[in-house]
């Protein structure tokens, strides 16, 4: 791909997007003005609401005149803590104002519940046994019943206010009784609880930001990129300039790359401006300090500005993902209005997970959440704001979001280049998916390869994390692994290859290897497990495992070793060698090999392969192993050597637990000396050099 052409398209489209007032409003004006204005409006609205409540009149009904006089006296004697002492203002038998609360107390002959239910009054009050005629109370204990309607806001406010008044009257009666008995008030308070906050001001500020900002960032990032995505696709078609652009002597993928970079730039810029504006508003508006007043023992608060660049970096793959999704979705629209309608499900897809996770503060960055689109980003941002940096969660969130983003980008490029999308109407879109309209092809496209991997990845992760429980029996664990291999890694690529009319021989590299390849494969298979074990030991030393992780891994290993040897080899060695290689060195490699150079393909396929082994301590080793297997398949033109090396590597780890000589050879105990590892590394390189394609029927390099 010529980057100069992409740069020209990018610069042209970016300038045109910045000339669009809708883009500027969504990207710049909304973030910079929305939050300060919102805080001002909210503050003023709260003041107005407070003043309205102070002037509000709440109607209360009672059944007897004695109860009305008693309740009037109770309210007149009330003085909420912190309020200024002021006398009651009364209207005889009717209204009185005490400490900012207004109550109009009337008699009623109908049932109290019915009077409140009718909506004419806010509260009904009854007392049992009957209250004295001329005093606030005596030594009797009474039951006060308050009838209110929780579906009516004014009734609920009146109920809470009346509860406070009666609670303070209870305290006064208790004080009077204690005084008569010659006791001090603290006799009823054997324990004074003093809550002390240990959170630092920065951590407290980060926790407050984590409650609000992740949800708003997700929504505003998506919103900021909507208009450029629509304008660069449906807008051009509506203006009649899309056909002219497609006729230019520039590959469509480069045109699409320039447009995509514009949308991603706007999304990332919008995210950055929203983050800065929200952080500044929280810092200077006093909202954070006001929120801490509701927390017992909370001290001063400080906004953690140091974490903001990290948060912005975490938003980049999310912005890339939804930029590609929006560009691909808008490519199907024939007009600006139709594209706006198409954006509704995209917004819902971002809104619902973000909103649900925001209302679940107990959700941690672990398990299936780490690979759940949108939800993983929201939880990650919340963890970062709170000052928690979980390396496993961060790596899985970044890796999975980048994988989804890459598949979405390639999907957008594929859709943008379809003539059915460019020039036909909506009725012909079925030609994109219907099998009878698909043309036979030798290998899958890069879009199809990464899209399949992106779909299988969360399914595989969910299956492993939800089914594999610590109490699972060895037999059930083996059944789970077998179903995972067959259902996630083997059948999907075979079914997709059949449906898409792909050449199975070309797609899955079904060829017999040459003699040199066989010799090189044997040498690689003999040395690769040694390097893998040494690398695993080095990773554990660099990233020590916690006791809990070590215990869980030990339990899982013990359950697997309890299986019969033949079943253990089938589950851990044979099936992974066949099924995983079919997906990664077959379908995924076939789709990417024509779009990248050999080294780039090895790196990408290896990283994707490592990411599927969702374990921070296994990802580096499996990624390097995946690169080696990809090189073997790419260089030798056959998938069978990669399957054999994979089989030997997994089998060696199992058999070494039963044969001490093999454990010493692999170095699973104390490891090898540096000289032995260097010798194994040289042998591995020689084996990779020996692998070469057959003179006939080899892949075209």
Average pLDDT, the chain: 78
User: Is residue 479 pLDDT above 70, yes or no?
Assistant: yes
**∠ Cα 156 105 137 (to 5°):** 95
The residue with greater pLDDT, 511 or 462, is: 511
213: its two tokens: 């900002």
- Those residues with Cβ within 8 angstroms of residue 391's Cβ, 6 or more apart along the chain or in another chain: 543, 616
In the block, tokens 């603290």 appear at 186
423 phi/psi in degrees, rounded to 5:
-125, -10
The span from the CA of 609 to the CA of 583, in Å, is 9
pTM of the model: 0.58
In the block, tokens 């390849």 appear at 517
Coil, helix or strand for 608? helix
Strand partners, 89: 97
Among 47-56, 118-127, 272-281, 563-572, name the one with the lowest average pLDDT. 47-56
Confidence band of 135 (pLDDT split at 50, 70, 90): low
Among 100-104, 360-364, 405-409, name the one with the lowest average pLDDT. 100-104
The span from the CA of 257 to the CA of 414, in Å, is 11
Answer yes or no: are the C-beta atoms of 403 and 457 closer than 8 Å.
Answer: yes
pLDDT in tens, 450-462: 878 878 887 787 6
CATH architecture, range 52-186: 3-Layer(aba) Sandwich (3.40)
Strand partners, 106: 61
432-448 mean pLDDT:
77
The span from the CA of 518 to the CA of 511, in Å, is 12
In the block, tokens 């009337």 appear at 106
Coil, helix or strand for 60? strand
What does the DSSP assignment read for 628-680? HHHHHHHHHS-SHHHHHHHHHHHHHHHHTTT-HHHHHHHT-SS---HHHHHHH
513: its two tokens: 């290897």
Among 92-101, 246-255, 292-301, 609-618, name the one with the lowest average pLDDT. 92-101
H or E stretch at 336: helix 336-358
CA separation, residue 200 to residues 205, 279, 304 (Å): 9, 18, 11
What pLDDT was estimated at residue 480?
84
60: its two tokens: 């209360």
The span from the CA of 591 to the CA of 587, in Å, is 6
pLDDT in tens, 18-53: 666 666 666 666 666 666 666 666 666 666 676 677
- Those residues with Cβ within 8 angstroms of residue 189's Cβ, 6 or more apart along the chain or in another chain: none
Report CA torsion sign: 257, 263, 266, 269.
Answer: negative
pLDDT in tens, 599-609: 989 999 998 89
CA atoms within 13 A on the CB side of 265: 17
The domains of the chain are located at 6-35+197-417, 52-186, 438-466+476-701
Report CA torsion sign: 344, 345, 347, 351.
Answer: positive
Answer yes or no: are the C-beta atoms of 481 and 570 closer than 8 Å.
Answer: no
């Amino acid at each position: 791909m010529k980057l100069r052409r992409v740069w020209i398209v990018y610069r042209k489209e970016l300038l045109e997007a910045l000339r669009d007032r809708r883009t500027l409003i969504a990207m710049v004006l909304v973030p910079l003005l929305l939050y300060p204005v919102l805080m001002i409006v909210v503050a003023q609205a709260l003041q107005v609401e407070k003043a309205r409540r102070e002037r509000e009149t709440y109607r209360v009904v009672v059944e007897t005149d004695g109860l009305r006089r008693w309740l009037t006296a109770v309210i007149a004697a009330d003085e909420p803590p912190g309020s200024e002492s002021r006398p009651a203002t009364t209207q005889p038998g009717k209204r009185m104002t005490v400490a900012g609360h207004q109550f109009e107390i009337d008699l009623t002959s109908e049932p109290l519940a019915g009077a409140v239910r009718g909506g004419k009054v806010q509260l009904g009050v009854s007392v049992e046994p009957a209250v004295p005629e001329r005093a606030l109370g005596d030594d009797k204990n009474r039951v006060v019943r308050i009838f209110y309607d929780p579906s009516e806001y004014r009734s609920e406010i009146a109920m809470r206010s009346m509860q406070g008044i009666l609670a303070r009257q209870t305290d006064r009666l208790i004080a009077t009784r204690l005084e008569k008995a010659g006791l001090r008030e603290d006799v009823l308070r054997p324990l004074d609880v003093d809550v002390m906050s240990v959170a630092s001001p920065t951590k407290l500020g980060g926790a407050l930001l984590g409650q609000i900002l992740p949800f708003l960032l997700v929504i505003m990032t998506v919103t900021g990129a909507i208009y450029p995505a629509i304008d660069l696709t449906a807008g051009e078609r509506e203006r009649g300039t899309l056909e002219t652009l497609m006729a230019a002597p520039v590959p469509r993928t480069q045109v699409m790359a320039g447009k995509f970079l514009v949308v991603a730039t706007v999304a990332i810029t919008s995210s950055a401006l929203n983050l800065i504006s929200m952080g500044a508003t929280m810092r200077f508006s006093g909202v954070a300090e006001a929120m801490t007043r509701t927390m017992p023992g909370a001290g001063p608060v400080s906004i953690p500005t140091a974490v903001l660049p990290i948060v912005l970096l975490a938003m980049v793959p999310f912005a890339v993902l939804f930029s590609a999704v929006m560009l691909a979705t808008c490519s199907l629209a024939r007009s600006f209005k139709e594209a706006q309608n198409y954006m509704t499900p995209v917004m819902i897809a971002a809104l619902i997970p973000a909103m649900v996770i925001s209302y679940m503060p107990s959700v941690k960055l672990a398990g299936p959440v780490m690979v759940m689109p949108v939800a993983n980003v929201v939880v990650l941002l919340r963890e970062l704001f709170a000052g928690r940096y979980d390396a496993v969660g961060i790596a899985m969130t970044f890796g999975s979001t980048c994988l989804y983003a890459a598949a979405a980008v390639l999907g957008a490029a594929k859709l943008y280049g379809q003539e059915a999308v460019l020039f036909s109407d909506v009725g012909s879109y079925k030609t994109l998916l219907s099998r009878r309209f698909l043309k036979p092809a030798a290998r899958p496209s890069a879009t199809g390869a990464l899209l399949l991997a992106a779909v299988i990845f969360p399914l595989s992760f969910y299956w492993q994390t939800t089914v594999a429980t610590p109490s699972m029996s060895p037999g059930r664990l083996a059944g789970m692994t077998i179903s995972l291999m067959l259902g996630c890694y083997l059948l999907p690529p075979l079914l997709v290859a059949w449906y898409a009319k792909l050449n199975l021989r070309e797609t899955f590299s079904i060829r017999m290897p040459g003699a040199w390849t066989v010799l090189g494969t044997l040498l690689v298979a003999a040395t690769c497990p040694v390097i893998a074990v040494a690398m695993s030991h080095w990773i554990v030393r660099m990233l020590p495992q916690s006791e809990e992780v070590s215990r869980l891994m030990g339990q899982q290993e013990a359950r697997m070793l309890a299986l019969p040897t033949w079943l253990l080899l089938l589950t851990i060695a044979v099936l992974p060698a066949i099924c995983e290689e079919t997906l990664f060195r077959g379908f995924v490699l076939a789709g990417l090999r024509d779009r990248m150079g050999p080294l780039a393909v090895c790196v990408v396929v290896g990283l994707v392969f490592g990411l599927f082994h969702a374990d921070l301590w296994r990802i580096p080793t499996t990624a390097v192993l995946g690169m080696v297997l990809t090189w073997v398949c790419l260089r030798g033109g056959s998938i069978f050597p990669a399957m054999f090396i994979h089989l030997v590597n997994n089998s060696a780890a199992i058999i070494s637990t039963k044969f001490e000589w093999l454990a010493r050879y692999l170095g699973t105990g104390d490891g090898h000396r540096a000289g032995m590892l260097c010798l194994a590394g040289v042998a591995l390189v020689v084996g990779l050099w020996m692998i070469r394609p057959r003179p006939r029927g080899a892949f075209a390099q």
